[in-house]
Chains A and B, each alone.
Chain A
Amino acid sequence: MRIVVCAKQIPDPATPYKLEADTHWLVRPAEQVLDDTDRYGVEMGLQLAQNSDGGVTIVSMGPAGSMQGLRQALAMGAEKAVIIDDPTLRGSDALATARVLAAAIAREGFDLVIAGTESTDGYSGVVPQMVAEILDVPALTYATEVKAAEGKITIHRQTSTGYEVVEGSLPALVTVTAGVVEPRYPTFKGIMEAKKKPVDNLALADLSVEATTDQKVTSISDAPARSGGAKIEDDGAAHEKIIELLAQKKVI
């Protein structure tokens, strides 16, 4: 099974993010890391590929920089990476991003495309579904379990109360939730071998695709500061009040 995993390099979440003043675009340092949510996609891909004698290709759009994030995915075991890095793609909206990714994925050929549910730095949460539409394959989303065999894919789709079992035929696209599998750490041998693995660095012109952006962020504002909250003094029955409160909020 040929598997393509969409993965994104993002600024290290441990460092504060900066936005450009006029465009509100994220300032991307040369050194970016693999989006943590993509570790799950990569791991899922590696496990499915292992069971079916195939390989995993990473497809990513964005400034290549030092390629630290892609190297991490390669060190985990992916065979190859494709990065579309083109200055004209800066500030792309979800649809433009999906067009570019779909073109690069089609160029590689695939039986299954795996993506995270949303990126940690962008959060639009719609790119994978758009990619599936453009590639004209079914999108099976929010998977907490994935099985693929003999031209079929079966997932557990997470819902607020449980899960649905959803089946589709390959080729297909699936989005996986954090926790779908336990991502492996890259091994030191893997890290040293990652250097030698192929990385295709493409410009927009290498893909015959139109990718104009219609959306723009017009303004941004800070989230409201958290308001006081409720205080429960423990008179011996505080736990009951807390349970009641959580039940009210439908958390439990």
Chain B
Amino acid sequence: MSQDFLDLDALLSDEEKLLRQTVRQFTEERILPEVAEWWEQGTFPHEIARDMGKLGLLGMHLEGYGCAGTSATAYGLACLELEAGDSGTRSFVSVQGSLAMFPIWKFGSEEQKQDWLPRMAAGEVIGCFGLTEPDSGSDPSSMRTTARRDGSDWILDGTKMWITNGNVADLAIIWARTEGGIRGFIVPTDSPGFTANEIHHKASLRASITSELVLEGVRVPDEFALPGVSSMRGPLSCLSEARFGILFGVMGAARACYEASLTYAKEREQFGAPIASFQLTQQKLVDMMVIVNRGTLLAMHLGRMKDDGRLSPEQVSFGKLDNVRNALEVARSARSVLGANGITLEYPVIRHMTNLETVYTYEGTNEIHTLILGQAITGIPAFKPPST
């Protein structure tokens, strides 16, 4: 493979390679033939969740409850192959596994796990993750959604914004302010008072459903509150899981852009020669190749650390920050190599390029990860203006 310049495959076990090959095949056969059309229509056929479930993709690195229980590295590799198809497909799997199943698996009661996880792993029940609000994005601790006791029930009120899978989900993990701190709730989306409004006119991540969730006096029994956590540690640990998948995933998108532009550059002729024979084009291709290999190497290194149980959230930020911004750079450069063809959906590049603008922003913006790393190396938090 032209893109495996550093022979990174040698770092993988046979099992990991077979798993990756399976996801690659799934992506080539089930996603790639249709994804440009989904993207143009602004849809994602969520029925595909059941096929993903059969494969074992959903919650794949969780143990028990119908989950496959793979290594974290294997989860990362699956994200990479899925995102080589489309960031929307990878987002679907990230949200289901890392943002909806993970909090139940990590903070849920035994009953909640038994009740929900097997059906979610099978793709029969789809989840979403409601943290962001209209006035609370990078600073989620400023959230306004509340949950208050009413007898043995909880009553939830508030609005969540930019929620992936919101309109297709059967349950929402809603993070809300309570008297006892920030808590997570499993909210069935057919609960009275719960509405999901799809967000239209997106120019990025179009093959993915994004929604606003409105909760007006939604009543859930106490058994639907996650007992294991009552602080921002809850949602943040979910984000750390999902970011780990992203730092692999974006290298899949970058690889797809690099490959498309390499093929194109060798075939497209101008001034009597393939454009790949111009030094300026070679510079672009080499920069892309170097980024894809380096970013994948970084991802595998972080994957091994996670498998060893010694990966810190700051190290995840390192990977999310650097791999996403570099993937975006690859996509933009690849777009330029394709010239006018680079702006059509006949080629995957512009789709990846605009998708990556979302990935740059969600799961902690580029700036927020910079500040996390800034604090890590200086010891000084710089999230708030110095005067406040």
Interface size on B, residues (CB 8 A): 19
User: A186-211 interface mask toward B, CB cutoff 8 Å, 1 = contact, 0 = none?
Assistant: 11110110110000000000000000
Q: Give bound CA distance, A67 to B15, whole Å.
A: 11
CB–CB A68/B18 < 8 A: yes
Main secondary structure of the interface of B (DSSP, over half): helix
CB–CB B14/A71 < 8 A: yes
**Cross-interface CB contact of A188 among B14, B17, B55, cutoff 8 Å:** B55
Task: List B contacts of A192 (CB < 8 A).
Answer: 15, 68-70
**Cross-interface CB contact of A186 among B1, B14, B22, B57, cutoff 8 Å:** B22
Task: List A contacts of B55 (CB < 8 A).
Answer: 185, 187-188
Q: Give bound CA distance, A191 to B19, whole Å.
A: 7
Task: List A contacts of B54 (CB < 8 A).
Answer: 184-185, 187
Residue of B nearest to A195 (CB): B15
Residue of A nearest to B30 (CB): A185
Asked whether any CB of chain A lies closer than 8 Å to the CB of B56, the reply is yes
State the Cβ distance, B162 to closest chain A Cβ, in Å: 30
Task: List A contacts of B74 (CB < 8 A).
Answer: 188
Asked whether any CB of chain A lies closer than 8 Å to the CB of B21, the reply is yes
Residue of A nearest to B71 (CB): A192
Residue of A nearest to B75 (CB): A188
Asked whether any CB of chain A lies closer than 8 Å to the CB of B60, the reply is yes
Asked whether any CB of chain B lies closer than 8 Å to the CB of A51, the reply is no
CB–CB A75/B26 < 8 A: no
CB–CB B1/A191 < 8 A: no
Asked whether any CB of chain A lies closer than 8 Å to the CB of B25, the reply is yes
Q: Give bound CA distance, A14 to B263, whole Å.
A: 14
Name A residues whose Cβ lies closer than 8 Å to a Cβ of B. 14-15, 31, 33, 66-68, 71-72, 75, 184-189, 191-192, 194-195
7 closest Cβ pairs, A-B complex: A188-B56, A188-B68, A187-B56, A191-B19, A191-B18, A185-B22, A186-B22
Name B residues whose Cβ lies closer than 8 Å to a Cβ of A. 1, 14-15, 17-19, 21-22, 25-26, 54-57, 60, 68-70, 74
Knowing that A185-B54, A185-B55, A194-B18 touch, tell me 18 more A-B residue pairs with CB under 8 angstroms: A15-B1, A33-B21, A68-B18, A68-B21, A71-B15, A71-B18, A72-B21, A75-B22, A187-B55, A187-B68, A188-B60, A191-B22, A192-B15, A192-B68, A192-B69, A192-B70, A194-B15, A195-B15
Listed A/B pairs (16) with beta-carbon separation below 8 Å: A31-B17, A33-B21, A68-B14, A72-B18, A72-B21, A75-B18, A75-B22, A185-B54, A187-B56, A188-B55, A188-B68, A188-B74, A189-B56, A191-B22, A194-B15, A195-B15
